[in-house]
Amino acid sequence: MSDARTPAQIEADIVRRRQELAVTLDEIGVRIHPRTIVGDAKAKAASAMDRTAGRAYVAANRVVTDVRGRLVAEDGSPRMERIVPVALVVVGVVGLFVVSSRRQKG
């Protein structure tokens, strides 16, 4: 048995390979076109921003949930034994800022 191909088979292979090459060249042309490159860059940037915003939202939500869990009882009532010290610390810090800013002006 011989592996000899007929001229028609060879020609059919050549035509098929030319068509495949044309498709490949078209794909390369689309990929390297400036609009495609800019579009891809925009899509990547938007995706990165979406991921960053999503992570920030999840982190902020986690912090809020944690703080709320510490300052509010399971039944929804405020835990005054925890809120009052936090409020005093906040008032003290704000007071220090006010005093500090007045000293810098005067």
CB-CB contact of 72 with 79 (8 Å): yes
Say if pTM beats, i.e. exceeds, 0.85: no
Res. 2: pLDDT tops 80:
no
**What size, in residues, is the chain?**
106
Which residues span the domain enclosing 104?
Answer: 79-106
Residue 93 in any domain: the answer is: yes
Residue 53 in any domain: the answer is: no
Residue 11 in any domain: the answer is: no
Residue 98 in any domain: the answer is: yes
Residue 35 in any domain: the answer is: no
Structural domain count of the chain: 1
Residue 84 in any domain: the answer is: yes
Phi then psi for 76, rounded to 5 degrees? 95, -5
Residue 16 pLDDT grade (very low, low, confident, very high; cuts 50, 70, 90): very high
CB-CB contact of 82 with 71 (8 Å): yes
In this prediction, residues 68-86 reach a mean pLDDT of 90
Residue 101 in any domain: the answer is: yes
CB under 8 Å to 58, separation ≥6 — which residues? none
Res. 106: pLDDT tops 70:
no
Residue 14 in any domain: the answer is: no
Using alpha carbons only, what angle is made at residue 55 by residues 52 and 60, rounded to the nearest 5 degrees? Answer: 125
Tens-digit pLDDT profile for residues 28-72: 998 899 999 999 999 999 999 999 999 999 999 999 999 889 899
Distance CA 94, CA 100 (A): 10
